[in-house]
Chains A and B, each alone.
Chain A
Amino acid sequence: MSALAAAGVVGPGLLAACGSDDESAGGPSNALWHDNWPGYMDEETLDLFRKESGLDFKYTEGFNDNNEYFAKVQADLAAKKSIGPDIITPTFWLAARLIDLGWVQEVPFDNIPNAANLVPSLRKPSWDPEGRFSLPYTSGMTGIAYNIGATGRELTSTADLFDPKLKGKVGMLLEMRDTVGLTMLLTGQDPATAAFADATDAFSMIEEAKDSGQIRAFTGNDYMDDLATGNYAACIAWSGDVLQLSLDDPNIRFVIPEEGGMQWSDVMVIPQGAKNADNTAAWMNYLYEPENAARVTSYIGYNSPVEGVQAILAAGDEAQQAQSKSQLLFPDAATLDRLSVFANLDPEAEAAFDERFSEITGA
Chain B
Amino acid sequence: VTSRGGEDRSKRSAGIVPYGLLSPGILWLLLFFLVPLVTLGRTSLSVKASRFDPNDIRLTWELSNYTNAIGDYSEQFLRSFVYAGTATVACILIGYPIAYVIAFRGGRYRNVLLGLVVVPFFTSFLIRTLAWVNVLSDQGPVISVINYLNLSGALESLGIMSDGRLLSTHTAVVGGLTYNFLPFMILPIYVSLEKIDIGLADAAKDLYNNGWQAFRKVVLPLSLPGLFAGSLLTFIPASGDFVNAKFLGGPRNTMIGSVIQDRFLVQGDLPTAAALSFMLMIIITIGTLIYARMLGTDDLI
- Interface residues of chain A, those whose CB is within 8 Å of chain B, are 65, 67-68, 70-72, 74-75, 78-79, 97, 101, 167-169, 210-211, 213, 215-218, 229-231, 347, 351, 354, 358-363
Picked from A216, A230, A358, A363, the residue with its CB within 8 Å of the CB of B168 is: A216
Known: A72-B265, A78-B55. 8 other contacts (CB 8 A): A67-B266, A68-B265, A101-B52, A168-B162, A216-B168, A229-B134, A351-B51, A360-B251
Q: Please, what's the 1-or-0 string for B66-110, where 1 marks a CB less than 8 Å from any CB in chain A?
A: 000000100010000000000000000000000000000000000
Q: B267–A231 contact, CB under 8 A? A: no
Given the complex of chains A and B, what is the CA–CA distance between A68 and B24 in angstroms?
37
Given the complex of chains A and B, what is the CA–CA distance between A65 and B262 in angstroms?
12
Chain B residues contacting A213 (CB-CB under 8 Å) are: 162-163, 250, 252
Given the complex of chains A and B, what is the CA–CA distance between A72 and B53 in angstroms?
12
Chain B residues contacting A362 (CB-CB under 8 Å) are: 76, 251-252, 254, 258
Which among A79, A97, A231, A358 has the greatest number of chain B C-beta atoms within 10 A? A231
Q: A230–B266 contact, CB under 8 A? A: no
Chain B residues contacting A74 (CB-CB under 8 Å) are: 52-54, 268
Closest chain B residue to A168 by CB distance? B163
Picked from A67, A75, A231, the residue with its CB within 8 Å of the CB of B55 is: A75
Q: B55–A168 contact, CB under 8 A? A: no
Given the complex of chains A and B, what is the CA–CA distance between A361 and B76 in angstroms?
13
Tell me what chain B mostly uses at the interface: helix, strand, loop, or mixed.
Answer: loop
Q: B266–A217 contact, CB under 8 A? A: no
Q: A169–B251 contact, CB under 8 A? A: no
Q: A230–B139 contact, CB under 8 A? A: yes
Q: Please, what's the 1-or-0 string for B36-80, where 1 marks a CB less than 8 Å from any CB in chain A?
A: 000000000000000111111000000000000000100010000
Q: B252–A363 contact, CB under 8 A? A: no
Closest chain B residue to A79 by CB distance? B55
* CB of A74, distance to nearest CB on chain B (Å): 6
Q: A169–B258 contact, CB under 8 A? A: no
Chain A residues contacting B167 (CB-CB under 8 Å) are: 231
Instruction: Count residues of chain B with CB under 8 A from any CB of chain A.
Output: 31
Given the complex of chains A and B, what is the CA–CA distance between A75 and B251 in angstroms?
28
- Interface residues of chain B, those whose CB is within 8 Å of chain A, are 51-56, 72, 76, 134, 137-139, 162-165, 167-168, 246, 250-252, 254, 258-259, 261-262, 265-268
* CB of A206, distance to nearest CB on chain B (Å): 10
Q: A67–B267 contact, CB under 8 A? A: yes
Sample of 14 A–B contacts (CB below 8 Å): A67-B266, A72-B265, A74-B53, A75-B55, A78-B52, A101-B52, A211-B252, A216-B168, A231-B137, A231-B168, A359-B72, A362-B76, A362-B254, A363-B254
Q: B55–A65 contact, CB under 8 A? A: no
Chain A residues contacting B134 (CB-CB under 8 Å) are: 229
Chain A residues contacting B268 (CB-CB under 8 Å) are: 70-71, 74
Given the complex of chains A and B, what is the CA–CA distance between A219 and B246 in angstroms?
10
Chain A residues contacting B164 (CB-CB under 8 Å) are: 168
Q: A75-B54, A75-B55, A78-B53 are in contact. Are A215 and B266 (CB under 8 A)?
A: no
Given the complex of chains A and B, what is the CA–CA distance between A145 and B282 in angstroms?
45
Given the complex of chains A and B, what is the CA–CA distance between A251 and B259 in angstroms?
36
Interchain residue pairs A-B with the least CB separation, the first 10: A168-B163, A363-B262, A78-B53, A362-B254, A230-B139, A362-B251, A67-B266, A363-B258, A71-B268, A75-B54
